Chains A and B, each alone.
Chain A
Amino acid sequence: AQSVTQPDIHITVSEGASLELRCNYSYGATPYLFWYVQSPGQGLQLLLKYFSGDTLVQGIKGFEAEFKRSQSSFNLRKPSVHWSDAAEYFCAVGVEGGSARQLTFGSGTQLTVLP
């Protein structure tokens, strides 16, 4: 079975600073990888996804993530954080050829942005 680890429970950055949120997964074959964002009291919004091909994927709101098979990682990055990026971020892994019921989510990273 697959698993996802988000090592950082809470990260604080200043507005305008760069951001990197870590995600490590465990799965024996090629995974499908996702990053979702959740604002307080809201549902999850898909930021980006990796299925195959280019290992650097671009998402919405200026986010990108890089799939590194050798490190079993899919870290999320943004070069300059905005105050509106404060939210909780979830990494998820899916099974290749599987369905959405086989998505496994990490515990989330809470992002605080200082003015």
Chain B
Amino acid sequence: ETGVTQTPRHLVMGMTNKKSLKCEQHLGHNAMYWYKQSAKKPLELMFVYSLEERVENNSVPSRFSPECPNSSHLFLHLHTLQPEDSALYLCASSRGHHTEAFFGQGTRLTVV
């Protein structure tokens, strides 16, 4: 139990589907993150929410849409994805400006 819980653990979706990834943290942190981990590439930071305010990452395609309704929950809404979006999506949280991040177990996404 890491304190950061992601659901689902595995997801297979077609390119025309709409789905959402969910992340919940029980650590009292006030910053949450979405990372993408593809094979043979460093972790890519996608989005940051700090105190429920989103910090944009302009390199992320608009087919990925984050939502942070409160400091404990984070969603990643997916629509019209491409096969190259298949990856492990990791959620993390931290305590404000403290740089230590705690990660969830990830959602393995396969786009077919």
Q: Which residues of A contact B (CB under 8 A)?
A: 32, 34, 36, 41-46, 49, 90, 94-95, 97-108
Q: A34-B100, A95-B99 known; 19 other A-B pairs, CB under 8 Å?
A: A34-B99, A36-B103, A41-B106, A43-B90, A43-B103, A43-B104, A43-B105, A45-B103, A46-B102, A49-B100, A99-B48, A99-B96, A100-B33, A100-B92, A100-B101, A101-B31, A101-B45, A101-B50, A105-B42
Across the interface, A107 reaches (CB within 8 A) one of B41, B96, B101, B104, namely B41
Contact B42 A101, beta carbon cutoff 8 Å: no
- Quick check: is B55 within 8 A (CB to CB) of the other chain? yes
- Quick check: is B22 within 8 A (CB to CB) of the other chain? no
In the bound complex, what is the Cα–Cα distance between A42 and B107 (angstroms)? Answer: 9
Contact B99 A90, beta carbon cutoff 8 Å: no
Which of A42, A95, A100, A104 has the most chain B CB atoms inside 10 A of its CB? A100
Shortest CB-to-CB span from A43 to chain B, Å, is 4
- Smallest CB gap from B95: residue in A: A100
Shortest CB-to-CB span from A57 to chain B, Å, is 13
Contact B90 A44, beta carbon cutoff 8 Å: yes
Which of A94, A97, A103 has the most chain B CB atoms inside 10 A of its CB? A103
Q: Which residues of B contact A (CB under 8 A)?
A: 2, 4, 6, 31, 33, 40-43, 45, 48, 50, 55, 90, 92, 94, 96-106, 108
In the bound complex, what is the Cα–Cα distance between A104 and B45 (angstroms)? Answer: 9
- Smallest CB gap from B47: residue in A: A101
In the bound complex, what is the Cα–Cα distance between A101 and B33 (angstroms)? Answer: 8
Contact B94 A99, beta carbon cutoff 8 Å: yes
13 contacts across the A-B interface (CB closer than 8 A): A43-B104, A43-B105, A43-B106, A45-B2, A46-B102, A90-B43, A99-B97, A100-B94, A100-B100, A102-B99, A103-B99, A104-B42, A105-B43
Shortest CB-to-CB span from A58 to chain B, Å, is 16
- Smallest CB gap from A101: residue in B: B48
Chain B residues within an 8 Å CB radius of A98:
97, 99
In the bound complex, what is the Cα–Cα distance between A2 and B55 (angstroms)? Answer: 19
